[in-house]
Chain A
């Protein structure tokens, strides 16, 4: 079998099993095993990528990636919503670190500020508003775990296969060229022995905008308010609309604020079919 296929099948089987074990309510040890299995599967996906050289940079990347993926798994699988939110914050930290590592310092900062500073806080706020006690049965019981996990893992496997395939050709060619250049040495003319690459533009067409340049933020500003000024204005309008919309949605509900009916916050019985939730007028009367 081709190693890619092996990795593909391994990813699917291990990942599905692990996610199922992780997500199903059960004994803690099994869930730990599931976490491990799914970590292995996701690691296999990551491991298909060629190493970054020099090696220490690769180590940094892998550490950050492990932090992100692990935190994400925890955020998805933990029962307590509050813990989930905290783990999601950790994921955000990892993502912003990866962004900074990938040459997007401004975005890293923006993500941290917007997500962790605003969105996550609001999220936690709503959570605590709705969950005074913190836990509910619907957090413990999950939906169709088998189907969901299978679908997600197959989706991931296909994505990774897609990435690997579409990047394999030029990458391998480049690797061959570099190897040959190292073997032959610099004294010999490369044109004599090295066959020309089949496609001249397999190397990335650099736009040369200096993503990694030192005046990174200034360049972002130039681009943002240069070429994308209209989109920026539109985004501003969108934000305003969202603000007004949120205010309207919440503000329409006059009358006394109601908390959960049961002090414990446990889920009430599911609404029977045909029985509409109480309307506003009924509640006001």
Chain B
């Protein structure tokens, strides 16, 4: 029907067109109808991406079947390519001309670093990209529809949709470019959109500060990412993912077939470790992993749809995507996967602990996002086929139920007149039946109760971690299990306090508590259904793992995704354990928040007595720590520089300027305005000249 390449281009370009259109015509022409370009474009893109997934699955299956059927000649094991990928070069951004032109009589001046990099704007499509595109566009479309109700009447309505469309474009490009440089460009572009949308209500100082904080913390990670890209360029001499056929020869790309078939060619040792760690720094910044997790909770100052789209479902998964995409590079480094797993597991536990005591509904969800992202990193960090698949699977399911949770929280916020503190409301289930039901679905999915999406993916992660050898992974496995318990507890803590208990309605609502318009409830219902279905469907059909296994980066030799599946026994053991743990968490939450308050108060008092409560409530004081360690010295340095600038440099300049003024003040009293006086002064000058003439 459609070529895969044209589908890809349509998928990517439509949001850009919507962004430009909305930006151009929004403020004057479209005004309150500014959502139409974005919604239409996202619908088209979504359809195209779903079509793309289907076609890619077809072709990948065909390739796979053909490959398995043909006899593999033992003499040339590298004759066929690994996985399935298609690339589409749009144009050459920079770099030398065609290869045929190098045979000039005049030799160009040789750069000691080699020829200038040839950067081509190349899109790629493989199963990983296809999955990411479908996820991003599904969530984006639903959030865009939801925002019609949520953002209605906002003075920056057109601006909001323009930003959203621009973000979707950047995110689609991020997952579909085939080049580290372009990846970096769109990495920054999504950061920019995130900044713009966090600070969307820029009149509020908190929002502006949160946007700034997100941008600056991301800079730290991006700096590492940029260094990683430089190091890649120095090490491999190219930035392409794929092999480039120039003339008769092949220029191997970093994640191209040449390297993948001979993974021992990857540079290991110190350089490889450095590359892995630097890329991980970038991933940490974008995905809000420890120690760069501090920006994400503050990012909740943005509009709730933005939180749902960018800071829960899509952009923050870019780090996971990067790690999965560059898995061969991590595997080449001695401790690469271990570092990723440790950071992920540690962050998961840390964020879950913090989320226990937070009172802001959106912040609880933000910390749960950090925690779930930690799960994904933990899974990818196992470096096994099962782990990567589980991580990507969790990314996929998490996008649905976390977007659902945020949108439901937004619905609560909408009904409560902007109040989001769970201490100020309660017992809302009668007022917000749709929100209540859908949020229950989301909570169950997040906690990981049996039929819901979160159960399957979390289970896969626990299984993948449990299968790893070594003490570290054992500890991480127990930490993940503990995190599952904590997740169930804090999720239902928030849920119970919001929808059950005595009915409390804050004054900001003005007594007018109502469900949102259909624009808002429809996406909630769709997402709730998806949260219920997607996990089970893909788990039972094994379609996800099978599809994802066709990604070239994950087809690394020695990383057989198609290997023997885990034994059913261990699988059921893990599932049983996690279900028990989750049920215990939910039960504890029900006991504490639905039962008598004496137990809760006693527990709170006891934990506060040993300082645990304050530690969790204060978010482990990371903000204060960074304030003291990073911000204060820098501020001091800036003050010092400012003082020097004011007192030394400026003063010197001022004094230089004041010297003629002071000198002039000496003679200013001579300006008496009397003509004979001026003549006298002139003659005195002549006298001096005469004296000089006679003595000289």
> Using a CB–CB distance below 8 Å, which chain A residues touch chain B?
143-144, 147-148, 151-152, 154-155, 158-159, 161-162, 165
Contact of A155 among B674, B676, B686, B693 (CB under 8 A): B686
User: Is A151 a contact partner of B693 (Cβ separation < 8 A)?
Assistant: no
Q: List 17 A-B contacts (CB under 8 A).
A: A143-B674, A144-B680, A148-B676, A151-B680, A151-B683, A151-B684, A151-B687, A154-B687, A155-B683, A155-B686, A155-B687, A155-B690, A158-B687, A158-B691, A158-B694, A161-B694, A165-B694
Residue of A nearest to B684 (CB): A151
CA distance A245 to B683 in the complex (A): 29
CA distance A144 to B694 in the complex (A): 28
CA distance A129 to B686 in the complex (A): 36
CA distance A159 to B693 in the complex (A): 11
- Known contacts A144-B680, A148-B676, A151-B680, then 15 further A-B pairs from the complex at CB < 8 Å, ordered by chain A residue: A143-B674, A143-B676, A147-B680, A148-B680, A151-B684, A151-B687, A154-B687, A155-B686, A155-B690, A158-B690, A158-B691, A158-B694, A159-B690, A162-B690, A165-B694
Q: Report the minimal beta-carbon distance from A233 to chain B, rounded to whole angstroms.
A: 32
What's the interface size class on B, roughly?
A: 10 to 19
Residue of A nearest to B676 (CB): A143
Q: Report the minimal beta-carbon distance from B692 to chain A, rounded to whole angstroms.
A: 11
Query: What B residues does A155 contact at CB under 8 A?
Result: 683, 686-687, 690
Q: Report the minimal beta-carbon distance from B245 to chain A, rounded to whole angstroms.
A: 86
Please give me the 9 A-B residue pairs with the lowest Cβ-Cβ distance, nearest first: A158-B690, A143-B676, A151-B683, A155-B687, A162-B694, A155-B683, A151-B680, A151-B684, A154-B687
Residue of A nearest to B691 (CB): A158
Query: What A residues does B676 contact at CB under 8 A?
Result: 143, 148
Q: Report the minimal beta-carbon distance from A86 to chain B, rounded to whole angstroms.
A: 23
Query: What B residues does A151 contact at CB under 8 A?
Result: 680, 683-684, 687
Query: What A residues does B691 contact at CB under 8 A?
Result: 158
Query: What A residues does B694 contact at CB under 8 A?
Result: 158, 161-162, 165
Q: Dominant SS at the A interface?
A: helix
User: Is B693 a contact partner of A162 (Cβ separation < 8 A)?
Assistant: yes
CA distance A186 to B156 in the complex (A): 120
Q: Report the minimal beta-carbon distance from A76 to chain B, rounded to whole angstroms.
A: 13
Residue of A nearest to B673 (CB): A273
Residue of B nearest to A143 (CB): B676
Query: What A residues does B693 contact at CB under 8 A?
Result: 162
Which residues of chain B (655-686) have a CB below 8 Å from chain A? Answer: 674, 676, 680, 683-684, 686
Q: Report the minimal beta-carbon distance from A19 to chain B, rounded to whole angstroms.
A: 14
Q: Report the minimal beta-carbon distance from B3 to chain A, rounded to whole angstroms.
A: 87
Q: Report the minimal beta-carbon distance from B461 to chain A, rounded to whole angstroms.
A: 88
Residue of A nearest to B686 (CB): A155
Q: Report the minimal beta-carbon distance from B676 to chain A, rounded to whole angstroms.
A: 6
Q: Report the minimal beta-carbon distance from B192 to chain A, rounded to whole angstroms.
A: 60
Residue of A nearest to B687 (CB): A155
Query: What B residues does A158 contact at CB under 8 A?
Result: 687, 690-691, 694
Residue of B nearest to A162 (CB): B694
Q: Report the minimal beta-carbon distance from B669 to chain A, rounded to whole angstroms.
A: 14
Query: What A residues does B686 contact at CB under 8 A?
Result: 155
Q: Report the minimal beta-carbon distance from A244 to chain B, rounded to whole angstroms.
A: 25
Q: Report the minimal beta-carbon distance from A179 to chain B, rounded to whole angstroms.
A: 29
**B 274-292 binary contact with A (CB < 8 Å = 1; else 0):** 0000000000000000000
Q: Report the minimal beta-carbon distance from A250 to chain B, rounded to whole angstroms.
A: 21
Q: Report the minimal beta-carbon distance from A81 to chain B, rounded to whole angstroms.
A: 17
Q: Report the minimal beta-carbon distance from B203 to chain A, rounded to whole angstroms.
A: 50
CA distance A144 to B693 in the complex (A): 28
CA distance A153 to B684 in the complex (A): 12
Q: Report the minimal beta-carbon distance from B223 to chain A, rounded to whole angstroms.
A: 64
CA distance A158 to B693 in the complex (A): 10
Residue of B nearest to A142 (CB): B676
CA distance A144 to B684 in the complex (A): 14
Q: Report the minimal beta-carbon distance from A163 to chain B, rounded to whole angstroms.
A: 11
CA distance A154 to B687 in the complex (A): 8
Q: Report the minimal beta-carbon distance from A103 to chain B, rounded to whole angstroms.
A: 28
Query: What B residues does A161 contact at CB under 8 A?
Result: 694
Query: What B residues does A143 contact at CB under 8 A?
Result: 674, 676
Which residues of chain B (454-487) have a CB below 8 Å from chain A? Answer: none
CA distance A159 to B687 in the complex (A): 9
**B 362-398 binary contact with A (CB < 8 Å = 1; else 0):** 0000000000000000000000000000000000000
Q: Report the minimal beta-carbon distance from A138 to chain B, rounded to whole angstroms.
A: 12
Q: Report the minimal beta-carbon distance from B177 to chain A, rounded to whole angstroms.
A: 75
CA distance A154 to B680 in the complex (A): 12
CA distance A230 to B641 in the complex (A): 68
Q: Report the minimal beta-carbon distance from B273 to chain A, rounded to whole angstroms.
A: 82
Q: Report the minimal beta-carbon distance from B579 to chain A, rounded to whole angstroms.
A: 96
Query: What B residues does A144 contact at CB under 8 A?
Result: 680
CA distance A162 to B691 in the complex (A): 9
Q: Report the minimal beta-carbon distance from A199 to chain B, rounded to whole angstroms.
A: 21
CA distance A272 to B177 in the complex (A): 83
CA distance A158 to B683 in the complex (A): 12
Which residues of chain B (480-538) have a CB below 8 Å from chain A? Answer: none
CA distance A82 to B684 in the complex (A): 30
CA distance A133 to B684 in the complex (A): 36
CA distance A147 to B681 in the complex (A): 11
Q: Report the minimal beta-carbon distance from A8 to chain B, rounded to whole angstroms.
A: 11
CA distance A161 to B693 in the complex (A): 11
CA distance A165 to B674 in the complex (A): 36
CA distance A161 to B690 in the complex (A): 10
CA distance A165 to B695 in the complex (A): 11
Q: Report the minimal beta-carbon distance from A266 to chain B, rounded to whole angstroms.
A: 20
CA distance A159 to B676 in the complex (A): 21
CA distance A158 to B680 in the complex (A): 16
Q: Report the minimal beta-carbon distance from A48 to chain B, rounded to whole angstroms.
A: 15
Query: What A residues does B680 contact at CB under 8 A?
Result: 144, 147-148, 151
Q: Report the minimal beta-carbon distance from B675 to chain A, rounded to whole angstroms.
A: 10
CA distance A162 to B690 in the complex (A): 8
Q: Report the minimal beta-carbon distance from A144 to chain B, rounded to whole angstroms.
A: 8
Query: What B residues does A159 contact at CB under 8 A?
Result: 690
**B 39-54 binary contact with A (CB < 8 Å = 1; else 0):** 0000000000000000
CA distance A3 to B693 in the complex (A): 21
Residue of B nearest to A147 (CB): B680
CA distance A144 to B683 in the complex (A): 15
CA distance A159 to B680 in the complex (A): 17
Residue of B nearest to A152 (CB): B683
Query: What B residues does A152 contact at CB under 8 A?
Result: 683
Q: Report the minimal beta-carbon distance from B685 to chain A, rounded to whole angstroms.
A: 11
Query: What B residues does A165 contact at CB under 8 A?
Result: 694
CA distance A151 to B680 in the complex (A): 8
CA distance A148 to B683 in the complex (A): 10
CA distance A144 to B680 in the complex (A): 10
CA distance A147 to B691 in the complex (A): 18
Query: What B residues does A154 contact at CB under 8 A?
Result: 687
Q: Report the minimal beta-carbon distance from A11 to chain B, rounded to whole angstroms.
A: 15
Query: What A residues does B687 contact at CB under 8 A?
Result: 151, 154-155, 158
Q: Report the minimal beta-carbon distance from B613 to chain A, rounded to whole angstroms.
A: 76
Q: Report the minimal beta-carbon distance from A159 to chain B, rounded to whole angstroms.
A: 7
